[in-house]
């Protein structure tokens, strides 16, 4: 059934968005163009953005206070795209108000806060989903199909990374505060690579983590991105890492090597996931010189005993629009108990273990 067919058969879902930064605007655009949804409310502290986005999309409900929006806008679904430390309290409040919730990544600043979100979703019987938009890439989707078909055999090792040349997203903002963000590059962009890798590997359970973090760049006021995603706040220190690496052990013996940085002495940004299987290997890569960027999906195997390189067909990158569409489909299934953010909670607990390992200088075990 297409979105248009569904619109004719069922009432439209009333949607709202909390947070008007870059991510929030992606959710707003996605809801505004979905024929099965009425985008009726937005909330944010920035009055000029409330006016601008409200006028652009014809949204009548414009709320400086999100609690008022939750109480008065009669919503069915809401997206939360605010600083990380606000994810858990806002999500819990929205679930308690009877709404289904799509929250931006990372799920929360700690695994404990993330667990509270999942527990509330279970208790209220509402959908809780986390917007890992890079999982919606066409090349990631194509590679997942190769893995599911058995084309790589048993995946026993993977390595992944997102390395930026100069990309600390918010110098002097909540991004660089440990209490607000929960962490630095690992929490911000490393979680994308962790999610994509585990998704591609078939969700193996992580049993132990050994990690290290470094901050040689940001505390000196260097490495800031020209793409400032949040307004600077006076006297916010740089308390998080700008580079992290981690080695993850999986149930069954598989391993994953992850590296991520906001700022590093490399020629250009690099993003990759490489899988090593018993019957083949594969890699998704993108980045490069902004003037000549690259995107590659390669699969290496054998065909009739001869080395072969496969070129899977790659569809369009779904981005946030696909993440929103997937969330709405989960809402419509009528089985919310199947979608309460459990996978994202696992990611949050792995991040907790990474930071604990870095702090104590040794391997940290996770409970399965």
Query: What percent of the chain has a predicted confidence (pLDDT) above 90?
Result: 87
Domain-located, residue 269: yes
Domain count, the chain: 2
Q: Are residues 186 and 78 in the same domain?
A: no
The enclosing domain of 290 has a CATH number of 3.30.360.10
Q: Are residues 157 and 288 in the same domain?
A: yes
Domain-located, residue 345: no
Mean pLDDT for 40-64 is: 97
Q: Does residue 172 or residue 5 have the better pLDDT? A: 172
Q: Are residues 181 and 79 in the same domain?
A: no
Q: Are residues 278 and 327 in the same domain?
A: no
Is-contact 208 249, C-beta < 8 A? yes
Domain-located, residue 352: no
pLDDT of 229 reads: 54
Q: Are residues 69 and 197 in the same domain?
A: no
pLDDT of 233 reads: 53
Mean pLDDT for 247-254 is: 97
pLDDT digits (tens, 9 = 90+) for 151-171: 999 999 999 999 999 999 988
Other CB atoms within 10 Å distance of the CB of residue 364: 18
Q: Are residues 331 and 292 in the same domain?
A: no
Cα 45 to chain centroid, rounded:
23
Q: Are residues 116 and 223 in the same domain?
A: no
Strand order in 128-131's β-sheet?
61-63, 37-43, 13-18, 77-80, 100-104, 128-131
pLDDT of 231 reads: 52
Mean pLDDT for 181-207 is: 97
| Residue entry with tokens 């390669």 | 298
pLDDT of 1 reads: 46
pLDDT of 228 reads: 53
The most distant pair of C-alpha atoms in the chain lies apart, rounded to whole Å, by 66
pLDDT of 234 reads: 52
Mean pLDDT for 270-297 is: 96
Domain-located, residue 172: yes
pLDDT of 26 reads: 97
Q: Are residues 177 and 239 in the same domain?
A: yes
* d(C-alpha 219, C-alpha 198), whole Å: 32
Domain-located, residue 284: yes
Q: Are residues 144 and 265 in the same domain?
A: yes
Domain-located, residue 72: yes
Domain span at residue 105 reads 3-133+321-339
Please state, rounded to an integer, the average pLDDT across all residues of the chain.
94
Q: Are residues 180 and 99 in the same domain?
A: no
Q: Are residues 81 and 220 in the same domain?
A: no
Domain-located, residue 355: no
Half-sphere exposure of 221 (CA within 13 A, CB side): 3
Q: Are residues 203 and 291 in the same domain?
A: yes
Domain-located, residue 205: yes
The enclosing domain of 27 has a CATH number of 3.40.50.720
Question: Which segment of 141-155, 163-177, 191-205 scores lowest on mean pLDDT?
Answer: 163-177
């Amino acid at each position: 059934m297409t979105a248009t067919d569904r619109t004719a058969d069922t009432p439209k879902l009333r949607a709202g968005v909390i947070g008007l930064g870059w991510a929030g605007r992606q959710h707003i655009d996605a809801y505004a163009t979905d024929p099965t949804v009425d985008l009726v409310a937005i909330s944010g502290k920035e009055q000029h953005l409330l006016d601008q986005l409200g006028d652009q999309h014809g949204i009548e409900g414009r709320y400086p206070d999100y609690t008022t929006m939750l109480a008065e806008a009669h919503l069915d679904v809401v997206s939360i795209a605010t600083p990380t430390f606000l994810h858990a309290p806002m999500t819990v409040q929205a679930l308690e108000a009877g709404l289904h919730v799509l929250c931006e990544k990372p799920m929360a600043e700690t695994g404990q806060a993330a667990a509270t979100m999942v527990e509330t979703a279970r208790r209220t019987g509402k959908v809780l989903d986390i917007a890992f938009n890079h999982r919606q890439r066409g090349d990631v989707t194509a590679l997942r199909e190769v893995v599911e078909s058995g084309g790589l055999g048993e995946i026993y090792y993977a390595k992944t990374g997102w390395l930026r040349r100069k990309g600390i997203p918010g110098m002097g903002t909540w991004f660089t505060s440990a209490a607000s963000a929960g962490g630095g590059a690992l929490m911000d962009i490393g979680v994308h690579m962790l999610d994509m890798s585990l998704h591609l590997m078939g969700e193996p359970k992580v049993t132990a983590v050994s990690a290290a973090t470094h901050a040689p760049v940001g505390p000196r006021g260097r490495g800031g991105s020209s793409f400032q995603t949040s307004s600077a706040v006076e006297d916010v220190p740089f308390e998080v890492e700008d580079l992290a690496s981690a080695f993850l052990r999986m149930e069954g013996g598989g391993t994953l090597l992850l590296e991520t940085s906001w700022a590093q002495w490399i020629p250009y940004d690099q993003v990759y996931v490489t899988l090593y299987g018993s019957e083949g290997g594969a890699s998704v890569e993108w980045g490069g010189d902004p003037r000549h960027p690259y995107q590659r999906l390669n699969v290496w195997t054998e065909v009739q005993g001869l080395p072969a390189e496969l070129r899977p067909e790659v569809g369009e990158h779904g981005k946030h629009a696909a993440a929103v569409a997937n969330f709405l489909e989960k809402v419509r299934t009528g089985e919310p108990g199947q979608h309460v953010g459990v996978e994202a909670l696992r990611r949050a607990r792995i991040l907790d273990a990474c930071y604990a390992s870095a702090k104590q200088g040794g391997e940290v075990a996770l409970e399965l």
